[in-house]
Amino acid sequence: MFGSMTKKSTPVDFPVFSLAFADDDSTTRCKLYVGGGGGPNKSGVKNAVVVYDVDPSELELRQAGDIQFSKQDDACMSLDVVRQEDKTFVVAGVNASQELIQAGDNKNFRLYTRTATDPDKTITQDTKTAVFELVNSVQTVTGKKAEHYQRVARSSSDGSMLVTGTTDGKLHLWKFPSLTEHRPSMTINEEIFDADFDSKSKWLVFVTPKQCQVISIEDGKVAFQISNPATSSGSPCEFRGCRFGRQDTAKYLYLIINEKSRKKSFVGQWRTDTWEMVRKRQIGKKPVTAFTMSPDGEKMAVGISDLSVVVLSANSLNVQCRVLNAHSFPVTSVAFSPDGGVLASGSADSSVHLVLLPKRSSLPSAPTMALMVILLLILFVLLYIREAQEL
Assign 200 to helix, strand or coil.
coil
In the chain, what are the helix, strand and coil shares in percent, each to the nearest 5?
10, 50, 40
pTM of the predicted model as reported, rounded to 2 decimal places: 0.88
Ramachandran assignment for 120, one of left (phi > 0), alpha (psi -120 to 50 degrees), beta (any other): alpha
**CA dihedral sign, ordered 59, 30, 322, 77:** positive
Rounded to 5 degrees, φ, ψ at 366 are: -60, -45
Strands across the sheet with 319-323, in order?
288-293, 299-304, 309-313, 319-323
Per-residue pLDDT of the chain (391 residues; tens, 9 = 90+): 555 678 999 999 999 999 999 987 655 679 999 999 999 976 789 999 999 999 988 999 999 999 999 999 999 999 999 998 889 999 999 999 999 999 999 999 999 998 866 545 444 434 445 689 999 999 999 999 999 999 999 999 999 999 999 999 999 999 999 999 999 999 998 999 999 999 999 999 999 999 999 999 999 999 999 999 999 899 999 999 999 999 999 999 999 999 999 999 999 999 999 999 999 999 999 999 999 999 999 999 999 999 999 999 999 999 999 999 999 999 999 999 999 999 999 999 999 999 999 765 444 555 555 677 788 888 877 777 777 666 5
Contact in structure between 67 and 90 (CB atoms under 8 Å): yes
**CA dihedral sign, ordered 151, 157, 159, 160:** negative
CA-to-CA distance for 192 and 77, rounded, in angstroms?
13
Identity (one letter) of the amino acid at 331?
Answer: V
Q: Which domains does the chain have, with CATH numbers?
A: 6-360 (2.130.10.10)
Distance of CA 176 to the CA centre of its chain: 19
DSSP track, 295-363: TTSSEEEEEETTS-EEEEETTT--EEEEETT--SS-EEEEEE-TTS-EEEEEETTTEEEEEE--SS-SS
CA-to-CA distance for 382 and 385, rounded, in angstroms?
5
CA-to-CA distance for 321 and 313, rounded, in angstroms?
10
Q: 252: buried, middle or exposed (CB in 10 Å: 19+, 13-18, 0-12)?
A: buried
The upper half-sphere exposure of residue 208, i.e. CA atoms within 13 Å in the direction of its Cβ, equals 20
Predicted pLDDT at 368: 58
Assign 277 to helix, strand or coil.
strand
Predicted pLDDT at 362: 44
Please enumerate in sequence order all residues whose Cβ is within 8 A of that of 271, keeping only pairs 6 or more positions apart, or say none.
251, 252, 253, 278
